[in-house]
Amino acid sequence: MATTLDQTIARRQRTLGGAILGSQTFWVLVAVILACLFLSFATDSFATAKNLYNITRNVTFVAIIALGMTLVIITGGIDLSVGSVLCLCSMVLAVTMHAGYGIGTGIAVSVATALVIGAFNGILIAYLGFPPFVVTLGMLSVARSLAMVASNNTVVFEFGPDHDKLLALGGGSTFGVANPVIYMVVLALLTGFVLRWTRIGRYIYAIGGNEQAAMATGLPVRPIKVCVYMISALSAGVAGIIQTGWLGAVTTNIGAGMELQVIAAAVIGGANLAGGAGTAFGALVGAALIEVIRNSLGLLGINAFWQGTFIGSATILAVLFDRIRNFRRSE
């Protein structure tokens, strides 16, 4: 009896292999790899150094924001304002540098803007009980409008004395890897580390799993929620800064509709909109799938109007997979 109880307690419910095969992220990764293999054989232009460089760089903007979004989604929230926050932060950076300030000041002001917006969203949601959907929908409108006010709705493409530094920051490469890709990898490792190895990470999952329980246990639920919205806005701000350096110009419509791609990336990567599930790696994989779909349509000569259909279908398919798994379990 004693030994059987010992054995039962010590037994693992699933093996590592089983856990991998059961994860949505793994299958999305397989889809990405298969799509890449297919495109390498089906087209001459996919597996070229230039195209791969472009793909990896294009992935980063959605992926970086998807990291922040994933944290929000794990807590059971949503942030619809990221596209507009990206725009506002880009514009604040551009206008500041255009006015003659250095790149350090520009980035500081831009990051501060993001943090203030995130804190505003978070405080309304965590302390005043506003629904995340409403608050961030409002901010979607406010942030873009502020970007228009800040720039008087013009295009900014001269960034003052540190112009070249900014372009190198976003447009340059290191050892053949586009700089934005390096930032993405670093941020993903950081996010993954926090989620898996720190208390805050664990509490983020706990809040998404059962907010009442987290409260009753005395976890700092509200501060953590404010924190995740600040990180989400910050990730949008960082993506905005990098994108500004890459594009070399800022208009008031950059990032428009981006929130949908970002949410799709997070969800495809395994984040659950009901809260409690999601990973940093999943966010990258989801963003990668979206970019590969987008890139491949162009290469295969399919009309770009189909893009939305494919990305939308991928989102639904990814979640369908999760549903099927749940059905099987409840049987």
Write out the residues near other proteins by the rule CB under 8 A: 5-6, 8-13, 196-199, 202, 205-206, 208-210, 212-214, 216-219, 276-277, 329
Minimum gap (Å) between residue 225 Cβ and other proteins: 15
Q: Rounded distance, CA 71 to CA 49, Å?
A: 33
Minimum gap (Å) between residue 276 Cβ and other proteins: 4
Q: Which residue has the tokens 């994108």?
A: 243
Q: 34: which 2 tokens?
A: 């298969």
C-beta of residue 112 within 8 angstroms of C-beta of residue 265: no
Minimum gap (Å) between residue 206 Cβ and other proteins: 5
Among residues 206 and 263, whose Cβ is nearest to other proteins? 206
Minimum gap (Å) between residue 244 Cβ and other proteins: 32
Q: Which residue has the tokens 């639920």?
A: 221
C-beta of residue 64 within 8 angstroms of C-beta of residue 265: no
Among residues 1 and 304, whose Cβ is nearest to other proteins? 1
Question: What's the CA angle centered on 202, arms 197 and 208, to 5 degrees?
Answer: 145
C-beta of residue 68 within 8 angstroms of C-beta of residue 127: no
Q: What is the dihedral of CA 118, 120, 124, 125, to 10 degrees?
A: 0
Minimum gap (Å) between residue 14 Cβ and other proteins: 9
Minimum gap (Å) between residue 304 Cβ and other proteins: 39
Chain centre to alpha carbon of residue 86 = 12
Among residues 105 and 272, whose Cβ is nearest to other proteins? 272
Q: How many CB atoms lie within 10 A of CB 173?
A: 14
Among residues 154 and 198, whose Cβ is nearest to other proteins? 198
Among residues 199 and 257, whose Cβ is nearest to other proteins? 199
Among residues 4 and 152, whose Cβ is nearest to other proteins? 4
129 sits in the region (left: phi over 0; alpha: psi -120 to 50; else beta) called left
